[in-house]
Amino acid sequence: MFFGQLVIAGLLTGSVYSMIGVGFTLVLGVGKIANFAHGSFVGVGLYFALFMWQKAGLNPYEALVPGLLAFILIGWAVAELFEWRGRKIGEIGELLVGLALLLTIGGLLEVLYTDNPRSFEAPSLGGVSVFGATVPWTEIIAAIFTLALAAATYFFVRLSRWGRAMRAVAENATAAGLYGVRAPITQRAAVTASIAIAGVSGMFIAPFTVMTPDAGTSYLISAFAVVIIGGIGRTMGAVAAGLAIGVVEALTGGYLSSVWTTLAPLLVILGFLLVRPEAGVAK
Amino acid sequence: MKALANSRYVGLGVLAVFFVVAWFVVGGLDASAVSIAVLALYYGAAGTSFNFLYGSIGVFSLAQPVFLAVGGYTGVYLYLTYGISPWLSIPISCAVAGLIALPIGLASLRRPGAVMTALVTLIIAEAAGPVVSAIKPLGGSIGLYLTLRSSDDLGAMQFGSGVAFARIFLIVNVILIAGLMWFNRSRAGYWARALRDSPEAADACGVPVFRVKLWIFVASAMIAAPVGLIYAQYNLLVNTDLFLGTTTLFEVIVVALVGGVARSWGTLVGALAIVEISQNVTSATSSRPGYGPLTFACIFLVIALLMPRGLSGTWAAWWERRRRSPDQAGGIAAVGAPQHAAERMATQTPVPDMTAHSQRSE
């Protein structure tokens, strides 16, 4: 049942990619901002969970409420930065701010927690046995969270007033403004939501993830891969793409050498970009 | 026009004076200062290839370190396997980098907008490390190492002190900056900036937009390769960490952006400033890990927030404001990152309104 184990492992890894991709697709499709620091906030979430566990004795699930509040505040501040630079300098201004935040957050984490990989195992919830392999509950909870998050985002953007406002702003901010949508606030809300999602995702995956300060770049890349393959602004596409990448990664890692674990997803994306150069062009 | 011609000679004169002064200053430095100088001049040269790409056609490519790595690997591999002198490898590395740049350009340049290009090229840069590590003849993740000669060996590009490398990089910098100054005022340079400022208008005027973009992308890769080759010779090794590590990957780009692409000398000034500051911080914190990269990042953050066009862009805007009459001064300060073409066009043509419609006002 080696194959089954690999598929399960791949789906669990993939759900992490989907989780990160959902936030990125929201900010790219609705906020119209390619937040280069998106993955960094996942990294901040990871280290925030570590901090709460070491200093306050709270496990990541107990730390969710303060974490969510903190990330909403951070997210709003970052959204203000993007808005301020974007209004004056345009796309390049946002790109520069995102890139600078990516590097600054990575540098700060390295100074605070050094280069050494960290991990902590809490809470220990045990696991269930699938195909002869033990799957920890923490990973299952993360996968469930991904699905709930994707469904919530999907219906929120589709059906709610705020979601409709976001889509209107994404389509044409000026026209939406003329119809009474408060475009600047809506855009900030999209950025804030995506950063809060990224941070909380980091906290959810903290119990089973080895954290390094440069996690920001690799999470940014997985998020972008998910968005490219799943389609910009498509929540369900992001979920499917994330799961697919996870399974490809697990299968190549299992049947070929471990080099392929990092290489295979990147090659899939590169191939995708070469074959479909128009992928990733915003509608 | 006369003022413009004068400013060109002033630029070349300043460059020549800088070259002569730096040539002798480098000779008198102690070993640690020389290593800082080599680093700064390497970043300056590497960043200038990005300056060429981003400044002329506005392509924000994070894949530039890949071509540095291509150069480094070509030089060391050819020397170790076939005994080919690194000097002869320079044109070969250009060709290899050009060949590799072609498919990368095809994959990344069709996307409109700087952000998409940046993301795609970031993926390519991240993929390059594992790809190179997977190729056995290139030494895997350990890389290729040169053995240190006992004495200076010009043919093998090995020198006992860093001074020779500092001078080589100095020459490279001066050639690149002078070349960029020439390019910016050449017909091709105006084409490039026309299609950057408005691809549609350039297309309508008969400029083959995608082809020009692709060729400039390939050319910038070919410029980067020799720089990487020389840097690998200086380090006596080549591996993925040297060019494609998590921090080294971004540092070249950061240096270019801090310096700004509005002027051809921007990158060199940015490199000198940022390397000097980060060295001071590193020694002040007694080399604790992480402070060097953090300093790089913090300088970049400050620049990104306060001077998004970099040092040379801010200088150019200030210069332009001073030169113009006060009632026209407002417009130029608010322009986006690589807008110097618009300024240059305004300088060339006596119609001040040329710039007005393409820029956001403050």
The Cα–Cα gap between B155 and B87 comes to 7
Does residue A40 lie in a domain region? Answer: yes
Does residue A245 lie in a domain region? Answer: no
How far are the Cα atoms of A9, A232, A242, A244, A261 from residue A247, in angstroms, in the given order? Answer: 7, 21, 9, 5, 10
Question: Residues in chain B, how many?
Answer: 362
> Kindly report the CA angle at B42 between B40 and B47, in degrees rounded to 5?
95
Does residue A195 lie in a domain region? Answer: yes
Domain that holds residue A89: 35-115+174-211
Cα-to-chain-centroid distance, residue A151: 15
Tokens 């390769």, residue located: B225
Mutate which of B288, B300, B362 to disrupt the A interface (most A C-beta within 10 Å)? B300
Does residue A260 lie in a domain region? Answer: no
Q: Side chain identity at A221, as an amino acid letter?
A: I
Mapped onto helix, strand or coil, the DSSP state of residue A63 is: coil
User: Considering the entire predicted model, what is its pTM?
Assistant: 0.83
| Bridge partner residues of A130 (DSSP) | A133
Say what the pLDDT of residue B335 is.
Answer: 44
Nearest C-alpha neighbor of A109 from the set A166, A176, A37, A160: A37
Nearest C-alpha neighbor of A255 from the set A12, A2, A17, A1: A2
The Cα–Cα gap between A42 and A58 comes to 19
Is B107's CB within 8 Å of A110's CB? Answer: no
Instruction: Please say whether the beta carbons of B226 and B89 come within 8 A.
Output: no
Is B126's CB within 8 Å of A34's CB? Answer: no
Is A34's CB within 8 Å of B119's CB? Answer: yes
Residue in B112, B291, B305 nearest the CB of A111: B291
Mutate which of A35, A87, A99 to disrupt the B interface (most B C-beta within 10 Å)? A99
Q: How many CA atoms lie within 13 A of A43 on its CB side?
A: 29
Say what the pLDDT of residue B327 is.
Answer: 52
The 10s digit of each residue's pLDDT in A97-112 is 888 999 899 888 888 8
Q: Average pLDDT of A228-250? A: 86
Is A274's CB within 8 Å of B111's CB? Answer: no
Task: Kindly tell me the number of DSSP H helices and DSSP E strands found in chain A.
Answer: 11, 2
Please provide residue A134's backbone torsions phi and psi, each rounded to the nearest 5 degrees.
-90, 125
Q: Nearest residue of B to residue A93 by CA position?
A: B308
> Kindly report the CA angle at A23 between A17 and A24, in degrees rounded to 5?
80
Per-domain residue ranges for chain B? 18-308
Does residue A146 lie in a domain region? Answer: no
Say what the pLDDT of residue B169 is.
Answer: 92
Say what the pLDDT of residue B322 is.
Answer: 84
Q: Side chain identity at B298, as an amino acid letter?
A: C
Q: Nearest residue of A to residue B306 by CA position?
A: A85
Is B288's CB within 8 Å of A111's CB? Answer: yes
Helix A64-89 vs helix A183-205: crossing angle, to nearest 10: 140
Tokens of A189: 């809300």
Contacts of B305 in chain A (CB under 8 A): 81, 85, 97, 100
Is B126's CB within 8 Å of A266's CB? Answer: yes
Does residue A7 lie in a domain region? Answer: no
Just give the CATH number of B18-308: 1.10.3470
Is B289's CB within 8 Å of A88's CB? Answer: no
Q: Beta-strand (E) ranges in chain A?
A: 127-130, 133-136
Residue in A89, A267, A281 nearest the CB of B336: A89
Does residue A97 lie in a domain region? Answer: yes
The Cα–Cα gap between B159 and B148 comes to 9
Say what the pLDDT of residue A140 is.
Answer: 85
Binned at pLDDT 50, 70 and 90, residue A134 comes out as confident
Is B103's CB within 8 Å of A106's CB? Answer: no
pLDDT of chain B, 362 residues: tens digit per residue = 455 556 678 888 888 888 888 888 888 888 888 888 999 999 999 999 998 988 888 888 888 999 999 999 999 999 888 888 889 899 999 999 999 999 888 878 877 677 778 888 888 888 888 888 888 888 877 888 887 777 777 777 788 788 888 899 999 999 999 999 888 888 888 888 888 888 888 888 888 888 888 999 999 999 999 999 999 989 888 888 888 887 788 888 888 888 888 888 888 888 888 888 888 888 887 777 778 888 888 888 888 888 888 888 888 888 888 887 555 544 444 444 444 444 444 444 443 333 333 333 33
Residue in B103, B134, B254 nearest the CB of A259: B134
Contacts of A267 in chain B (CB under 8 A): 127
- Asked whether the bond before B137 is cis by omega within 30 degrees of 0, the reply is no
Terminal Cα-to-Cα distance of chain A (whole angstroms): 43
Tally of structural domains, chain A: 1
Q: Nearest residue of A to residue B335 by CA position?
A: A89
Q: Side chain identity at B12, as an amino acid letter?
A: L
The Cα–Cα gap between A39 and A57 comes to 26
Q: What is the DSSP string of B286-317?
A: TT-TTHHHHHHHHHHHHHHHH-TTHHHHHHHH
Does residue A58 lie in a domain region? Answer: yes
What's the complex ipTM? 0.83
How far are the Cα atoms of A211, A219, B225 from residue B244, in angstroms, in the given order? Answer: 20, 17, 14
The Cα–Cα gap between A58 and A68 comes to 14
Tokens 């809470």, residue located: A123
Instruction: Please say whether the beta carbons of A280 and A228 come within 8 A.
Output: yes
**What is the number of CB-based contacts under 8 A between chain A and chain B?**
148
Q: Nearest residue of B to residue A263 by CA position?
A: B130
Contacts of A81 in chain B (CB under 8 A): 305
